[in-house]
Structure 1
Amino acid sequence: MIPSYIDIEAIFDHYDAVFFDAYGVLVDGIDALPNAEQLVNIMNASAMNYFIVTNDASKSIESLSNKFQSQGMRIPVERIVNSGSLISGYYRDEDLVGRPTLVLGTKDSRTYVSGSCAKILSLDSNSEPDVILFTHSSPYDWESTLKHLLNLVSKRFKQKTPVRMVLPNTDFIYQDGKADFGMGAAAFVETLEEALMRLHGKHEVLRAAKLGKPHPPIFTEAIRRAGSNNVIMIGDQLETDILGANNVGLDSAVVTTGINKRSNPKEFKDMPDDLTPRYILTSLV
């Protein structure tokens, strides 16, 4: 499949709702990207049905909205769907409410689970968790942290009382400035999963549950909020934004301001179809 070019006006005319990734599309991790502020102003003025669908679980919805505001974009909380907001529902669905949870992430990320578990634990807690929640990649010494988690999860697996692992943000890397990138929590979780598999073989309980893009939960919630399946996902990562949209049957458009740098349709000719967007969007306005 070879993508074609599309402009933002054609997107607005054709779709009932538009999903935007945040990092690499609207912001570079620090500042707003070119034309992002103008785009948001246009959508707000025209009452466009849009949503920011982001894997970021390190900030509360309110903090995300405030951060966008500080970058010149007035994006209300009701327009934001992030992977962190799926945590409480996951706890209910998986009968994890009341379980002690080790939260590896920011102070903000703890708010997503504060009402769903009896006790929030830290790495130096004396108690053992029943759930490990990976919401952000910092601030940890990951060499010592992974060693601790490997031995804890391995021990509990052998005791037949496995620890559940939950990964809301499945970004392996993310944009952290104009030319800088950071390692996401998924990079460390994948290392842990690989180590556990080598020790114990393939077992579903030794893999983290994934809530964010490209996995279905975040798209299911965003589509529910949008009230339509006639939606397009605009993102910068083929492995999360585009793959996830394609897997749930949504159209997708890739930008060239983030992780993806392919700007010519011919550059996708050898790309697997599930990683290929329907469109290339070269400008936000």
Structure 2
Amino acid sequence: MARIPQTTFRELADRYSTILFDAYGVLAGSNSVEPEAPAAVELLHTLNKPYFVLTNDSSALAETRAASYGSLGLPIDESRIITSGSLLTGYFAEHDLAGSRCVVLGPPDSLRYVEVAGGCVVPYEADFDVLVIGDQSGFPFLEAADTVLSALFRKIDARESVSLILPNPDLIYPEGDGFGFASGSVALIFESALALRYPVRPDLRFTRLGKPHPAIYREAYSRSATMDMVMIGDQIETDIKGANDFGIASALISTGVTGYDVSQLPESERPDYLIESLAI
């Protein structure tokens, strides 16, 4: 296979009309920013270069995330932040879920995403039509998971329909010097239990909205009005594959999750570029 070219952030900024960033592992974590991120964002402001943050995080509204970035010295307006949680609005409209009773596992902003989409949020102990896993935190995990799983079993046994929605498919995320489980791992727990109890029901799976699925890239295209974009991300399975599948350029950064040789990956998962960091 051809060698993947090494490049720099400045070269990507000069080459493409619009820059797309992943958030965690590329720009910032929960309580800190990547060292080169402020200068990289300032460069784009100086060049008047369009850019967007495409994040699978559905635990924080765009305005919440923008305020957090600002407090860390990273001035990014909320209009530049596209979250997987925001995709719920289109999904609820497309599938006529407005007014549905929704159990949401996640912090308050995850619940707010569902309310904005038209869902009626109910406590996890209540009956529901829709289950949304918004995050791996913000709720009593074992108590809520056990209660919701038992309710799912009862509803399926009674042949009632239920929609399972996962805005953020990420399994892990970088945090400081380590890693944490993300909401995609929570969904896998539910799916494993459902598969064990209902082995002939492969349909009992969550609908995944965020990267690598196309909806978040379509939103970036809608806002930028160009396919001349490059996605800078740290995860092959989400950032890179999603960009490749959508037909835009991809650059794998070494500051996040992926820590292995990617040169032998299949074409759909190979980045167009490798970059060490956002250093200019």
- TM-score tier after normalising by the smaller chain length: over 0.9
Pairs within 5 Å for 1:273-284? 273-284=267-278
Deviations 1:95-140 (A, max 9, x none): 000001011111122221214446311223xx30100111110134
Q: Answer with 202-211 or 220-229: which moved more.
A: 202-211
**Deviation at residue 205 of structure 1 after TM alignment:** 4.3
Aligned to 2:180: 182
Distance 1:219 1:116 in 2: 19
The 8 Å contact of residues 98 and 116 in structure 1, kept in 2 or not, is answered as: no
The 8 Å contact of residues 9 and 275 in structure 2, kept in 1 or not, is answered as: yes
Q: 1:44 to 1:161 in 2, by over 3 A?
A: same
Q: 1:46 to 1:269 in 2, by over 3 A?
A: closer
Pairs within 5 Å for 1:1-285? 1=1, 2-117=3-118, 119-124=120-125, 127-177=126-176, 179-201=177-199, 203=201, 205-262=203-260, 267-284=261-278, 285=280
How many residue pairs are counted as aligned between the two chains? 278
CA RMSD, Structure 1 to Structure 2 (Å): 1.7
The 8 Å contact of residues 162 and 205 in structure 1, kept in 2 or not, is answered as: no
Structure 2, unpaired ranges of 5+: none
**Deviation at residue 71 of structure 1 after TM alignment:** 1.2
TM-score (norm 1): 0.92
**Deviation at residue 271 of structure 1 after TM alignment:** 2.2
Distance 2:36 2:119 in 1: 45
Distance 2:262 2:121 in 1: 45
**Deviation at residue 90 of structure 1 after TM alignment:** 0.8
Distance 1:136 1:176 in 2: 15
Q: 1:49 to 1:203 in 2, by over 3 A?
A: farther
TM-score (norm 2): 0.93
Structure 1, unpaired ranges of 5+: none
Residue 98 of structure 2 aligns with an amino acid whose one-letter code is: V
User: Stretches of 4+ moved more than 6 A in 1?
Assistant: none
Deviations 1:35-66 (A, max 9, x none): 10011111112111110000111011101111
Distance 1:240 1:226 in 2: 21
Residue 146 of structure 2 aligns with an amino acid whose one-letter code is: K
**Deviation at residue 180 of structure 1 after TM alignment:** 2.0
Identity of aligned residues (%): 33
